Amino acid sequence: MKAADAGEALNEVQERSGGSAKRVALVIATLAALLAIVEVSGGNAEQHAQKSNVDSANLWAFYQAKTIRQTVVRTTAEQLALELPTLTAPDRVEAAQKQLQAWRATVERYESEPSPDGGEGRRELMARARAAEEVRDQALAKDDLFDFASAALQLAIVLASASVVIGIAWLAWLANGMGFVGFALALLGWFAPTPLAL
């Protein structure tokens, strides 16, 4: 196709579509800008979900390690408690009782150790891990909504472009509808994401 042929083709499309081509072009530009914003938001949500997933996995691993330590110390303390009546020397009995008391305190500390930064006892680690899971689930819900919004906006752009080239007005209306659906899904992703089984 030569440059003159391309110019004639553009003139023909403009004649067929009248002044609506400019309006559709504006719609396409708006949809493309919204698509770019939705894509960035979706990427951010995905990264946030991955980070929260790693945080959750780390906290659960710490919880398991704390449980193992607690079990070892508890078992050792129980063994010493069973051996305590067999001890005859008073200094050994006193040392064993002090050790038993220290181990029992350690078992309790492993169970719950609150602190301003969230704590590192089993109860606190479990609560922090579950909170990280909730953040991950919210981020995944956002990512899903942004994916669907992105798909709807891309379809809207294709339909709007086709309406200009082909000159079929109802394609422009369908493009506007798809654009609205994409925008609505994006709004849900930004302001009201809920974990859905999509």
pLDDT, tens digit (0-9, with 9 covering 90-100), for 38-57: 999 999 999 999 999 999 99
Domain assignment of residue 128, yes or no: yes
CA 169, CA 164: separation in Å to the nearest integer? 8
What is the structure's pLDDT at 138? 94
What is the per-residue DSSP string for 114-162? Answer: --TT---SHHHHHHHHHHHHHHHHHHHHHHHHHHHHHHHHHHHHHHHHH
Residue 36 structural domain? 18-191
| Residue recorded with tokens 């330590």 | 69
Rounded mean pLDDT of the chain?
88
Whether the predicted pLDDT of 157 surpasses 70? yes
Domain assignment of residue 153, yes or no: yes
What is the structure's pLDDT at 7? 45
SS3 89: coil
Domain assignment of residue 133, yes or no: yes
For range 126-143, the mean pLDDT: 95
In CATH, what number is assigned to the domain containing residue 42? 1.10.287
Domain assignment of residue 197, yes or no: no
What is the structure's pLDDT at 117? 81
User: Where residue 11 falls among pLDDT bands split at 50, 70, 90?
Assistant: low
Residue 184 backbone class (left: φ over 0; alpha: ψ -120 to 50; beta: rest)? alpha
Task: Report CA-CA distances (Å) from 140 to 61, 96, 137, 162, 193.
Answer: 22, 53, 5, 33, 9
For range 145-163, the mean pLDDT: 95
Domain assignment of residue 77, yes or no: yes
User: Where residue 106 falls among pLDDT bands split at 50, 70, 90?
Assistant: very high
Domain assignment of residue 175, yes or no: yes
Domain assignment of residue 12, yes or no: no
Cα dihedral value 146, 152, 155, 157, nearest 10: -80
Task: Report CA-CA distances (Å) from 144 to 19, 189, 198.
Answer: 37, 8, 8
Q: Which residue, 16, 24, 10, 15, is CA-closest to 174? A: 24
Domain assignment of residue 60, yes or no: yes
**Which distant-in-sequence residues (6+ apart) come within 8 Å of 99 by Cβ?**
80
CB neighbourhood size of 8 (10 A) = 12
pLDDT one-digit tens code per residue, 69-94: 999 999 999 999 999 899 889 999 99
Token representation of residue 35: 């698509």
Q: How many domains would you assign to the chain?
A: 1
What is the reported pTM? 0.77
For range 169-179, the mean pLDDT: 93
